[in-house]
Amino acid sequence: MMQSNLPLQGLRVVEMGQLIAGPFASKMLGEFGADVVKIEPPGIGDPLRKWRKLKDGTSLWWHVQSRNKRSLSLDLKAAEGQEIARRLIAEADVLVENFRPGTLEEWGLGWDALAEINPRLIMLRISGYGQTGPYRDRPGFGVIGEAMGGLRHLSGYPGQAPVRVGVSIGDSLSSLYGVIGVLLALQERQRSGLGQNIDVALYESVFAMMESLVPEYDAFGYVREPAGSALPGITPSNSYPCNDGRYVLIAGNGDSIFKRLMTLIGRTDLGDDPRYAHNDGRSQHAELIDNAIAEWTLQRGRDEVIAALNEVRVPAGFPYSAADIVADPHYLARQMIAQVQTSAGPLKVPGVLPKLSRTPGRIGGGGPQLGEHSEDILAGLGLSAEQVAGLRERGII
């Protein structure tokens, strides 16, 4: 059942995206009450339906990425399909798309054309390189955005091939920036009554996370390099081995935290040394400090190490696997593991973020079947049953 107090209740969103960046953005809008109509190609649907692990022929990822959406199967390459899209968009608040730049223009669905029929429309466009610039026509996936944005150069260990984060972080970061853009545009529309076009590039979304990368190069000619599990220039913050073959992550880089950590491991000589009182001094001797901590952790099991660190208020943890996550009492207490009913049966899925105290988001169920809501959506546009049947016969839906 739809909650009546969701913050985006009444917001109408049309999604023309596929795979990750566009659909992740509209997923978030749907979790907070927006009515999201997802347009998919007839017969095949969004390729994400067949990505990673499948159950009953459908990706389990699909039930996370496409929850709270209604599916309309529609051939956007056909003139009839384009006309139906225009009718939908004429009544929409937001359009989300992540096709190659120029694709919607080829279909007569570019920004200028759509803004003319719906001046209040907010159009979120996510692409590899953005809608302008010399690279705009290049194909771009999240992995390429992560590389160009600077993240891949910093990933892994010195002298080894760069590694990737095990999820599509470039796409998801772009989605988050896209949602921020939509919310900003909605706020501005309250004053002007007009929509606007939001241009998000994958590489720029990654680049925005690169902290002091550019000013350090500009000021000193310093090129930041991969550093494995350490965080260069912030000490101590690293991964340390335990005697049970597992690892613990310790972030003892606050000045007072560092002193408590050194007292715990029996190295007050380091904790009281004025050279290490502040981060800049500690970072000049990071290897010495890391070795001292590792000597202590190697004498203990991981759980013992974390318990001792928690006792003296030193931030510590370990790399969680999926099994660790679903069993963790804190995840459960904060409702970050939800169970929903899907076409593949009941499934555990991630909960909703951010957490609003008065109007929290919701998960209505898993992802829709291809074209599951086509007839209802088209009837809402005023098409008769005979017209819908004709569209189906011609392969438009």
Query: In which residue are the tokens 């613990």 written?
Result: 248
Q: Tell me where in the chain the CATH 3.30.1540.10 domain(s) lie.
A: 237-241+247-317
Q: Tell me where in the chain the CATH 3.40.50.10540 domain(s) lie.
A: 12-208+332-393
Q: State the pairing for strand pair 247-251/316-317.
A: antiparallel
State phi, psi for 340 to the nearest 5 degrees. -125, 160
Map residue 69 onto helix, strand or coil. strand
CB atoms within 10 A of CB 159: 7
Which distant-in-sequence residues (6+ apart) come within 8 Å of 384 by Cβ?
none
Q: Please give the pLDDT value at position 5.
A: 87
Among all residues, which ones are annotated catalytic? Answer: 171
For residue 270, the number of C-alpha atoms closer than 13 Å in the C-beta half-sphere is 28
Query: Tens digit of pLDDT for each residue in 238-291?
Result: 999 999 999 999 999 999 999 999 999 999 999 999 999 999 999 999 999 999
Map residue 82 onto helix, strand or coil. helix
- Which of 7, 110, 172, 83 is closest to 382 using CA atoms? 83
CB 141 within 8 A of CB 206: no
Map residue 44 onto helix, strand or coil. coil
Q: Please give the pLDDT value at position 391.
A: 96
pTM of the model: 0.93
CA dist 78 and 107 (Å) reads 8
Q: Please give the pLDDT value at position 331.
A: 97
Residues facing 338 on adjacent strands: 349
Residue 174 in tokens: 């772009």
pLDDT along the chain (397 residues), means of 10: 80 96 97 98 96 94 96 97 98 97 97 98 98 95 94 93 91 98 98 98 97 97 94 95 98 97 98 97 97 98 98 97 97 96 93 96 94 96 95 95
Q: What string of DSSP letters covers 83-107?
A: HHHHHHHHT-SEEEE-SPTTHHHHT
Query: Tens digit of pLDDT for each residue in 354-391?
Result: 999 999 999 988 999 999 999 999 999 999 999 999 99
CB 346 within 8 A of CB 45: no
- Which of 102, 109, 153, 108 is closest to 128 using CA atoms? 102
DSSP alpha helix (H) spans, 208-277: 213-220, 255-264, 268-271
Longest dimension (CA), the chain: 85
∠ CA 157-158-164, nearest 5°, is 40
Map residue 375 onto helix, strand or coil. helix
CA dist 235 and 215 (Å) reads 21
Q: Please give the pLDDT value at position 176.
A: 98
**Burial label, 146 (beta-carbon count in 10 A; 0-12, 13-18, 19+):** buried
CA dist 346 and 348 (Å) reads 7
The CATH architecture of the domain made up of 237-241+247-317 is: 2-Layer Sandwich (3.30)
Q: What is the layout of strands, in order, in the sheet containing 316-317?
A: 237-241, 247-251, 316-317
Query: In which residue are the tokens 């007292």 written?
Result: 263
Class of the CATH domain delimited by 12-208+332-393: alpha beta
Q: Please give the pLDDT value at position 1.
A: 42
- Which of 377, 388, 370, 372 is closest to 91 using CA atoms? 377
